[in-house]
Structure 1
Amino acid sequence: MKIAYTMAPGRGDTDLLLSRVARRIAKMGLRVCGTVQINSERETDGPCDMDVQVLPDGPIIRISQTLGAHSRGCRLDTSALEEAVGHVTREIRKGADVLVINKFGKHEAEGHGFRDVIADALVNDIPVLVGLNQLNLAAFKEFAGGLETEVRPEEHKLFEWLEDKCSCGELV
């Protein structure tokens, strides 16, 4: 199976890494589908806003809710995330060389979100790169059935993995 995950240590670092990787894949002339996350700091009223850019050139969708500075609940707007899933599903049907998913998060761990998109890509032999955090690692590994590869959060390491798994020529 062609599925890899990466976990960068700093807040938002995985998002930035996967964005750079997706842009570089596209510049190489390959069709990259999926999502990358864009975090926008807020001056007041709590943590950053979270948006996803649908790849290769789809819309930017706000996936976070503004719950207030002192809220403790999950900020994910699951309806917006499912909207992004719909866009990615349509894009990947047009063909893809690589699927990049910004995060296998709580929604995916619970059986929703991008799970089916990831599974369909794997069935169709499309390499999948996924961002992950420690909280959802066990659920991701269960989903991947032990066939996943952890890749250090370094651009050149992700491209080495892709070159090994992609039928699109030399990437590194």
Structure 2
Amino acid sequence: MDRPPPIAAIVHAHEDAADAVMRDYVADLRGRGHTVRGLLMARRPDGRLRGGRCLRDVETGEIFEIFQDLGEGSQACCLDVSCLAAAAGTLRAAIQARPDLVVINRYGRQESEGGGFAQEFLASMVEEIPVLTIVAEEFLEDWRRFTGGMSAELPADMDRLRTWETRALAASRPRAQAG
């Protein structure tokens, strides 16, 4: 294959610097005039939600509180699937806008089971819009099956992201201009 995969994953072991690197990378890319749409993981400063995490729309700043507060001591899954569906709408709109890059906060358990943002990942791949996500090592084999082994796997490193970006964005431009 002479062109890079239009999809890449920052692979991490322990939620180390992956989110911060992706946020910094998106800000850098936008600062250089590229169009980036999608969702990033964000921390809630008030910490009132379990884990204190939510999703933030890169373009509008809209917050999606995808984790429900089920109360102290709850061991149940706290993912709010209705809010996840609303966030998926943001990703579908992002794909339709044909930006330079779509970012999807994670490929994880939901996606490995065919839910979550699996359809939005597939739509980006079909449209050959470069997409960047984060994948935990525990889901790496699922990710490889999901992408047919066609994804670039990158460390949480700005230089490696820029190297992938240069080739991925250049390869996608002729298709975007033809469409």
TM-score (norm 1): 0.86
Is 2:42 aligned against 1:38? yes
* CA distance in structure 1 between the partners assigned to 2:55 and 2:111 by the alignment: 15
Is 2:152 aligned against 1:157? no
Structure 2 partner of 1:145: 148
Q: 1:61 aligns with which of 61, 64, 87?
A: 64
- Measured after TM superposition, the shift of residue 127 of structure 1 is 1.1
Identity, in percent, stands at: 26
How many residues are matched?
168
Deviation track 1:6-51 (CA, whole Å, cap 9, x = no partner) reads 123444632222111111111111111111001236668x842221
Change (3 A) 1:36 1:26: same
* CA distance in structure 2 between the partners assigned to 1:72 and 1:137 by the alignment: 25
Q: 2:33 aligns with which of 29, 33, 58?
A: 29
More helix by share: 2
Q: Kindly indicate whether the alpha-carbon contact (under 8 Å) linking 2:94 and 2:102 is maintained by their aligned counterparts in 1.
A: no
Structure 1 partner of 2:54: 51
Which amino acid in 1 is paired with 2:24? R
Which amino acid in 2 is paired with 1:22? V
Is 2:6 aligned against 1:2? yes
Q: Kindly indicate whether the alpha-carbon contact (under 8 Å) linking 1:33 and 1:96 is maintained by their aligned counterparts in 2.
A: yes
- CA RMSD in angstroms comes to 2.2
Structure 2 partner of 1:101: 104
Q: Kindly indicate whether the alpha-carbon contact (under 8 Å) linking 1:42 and 1:48 is maintained by their aligned counterparts in 2.
A: no
Structure 2 partner of 1:76: 79
Change (3 A) 1:43 1:138: same
Deviation track 1:70-100 (CA, whole Å, cap 9, x = no partner) reads 2222222121111111112113212211111
* CA distance in structure 2 between the partners assigned to 1:26 and 1:36 by the alignment: 14
Which amino acid in 2 is paired with 1:38? A
Give unmatched runs, 5+ long, in structure 1. Answer: none
Structure 2 partner of 1:122: 125
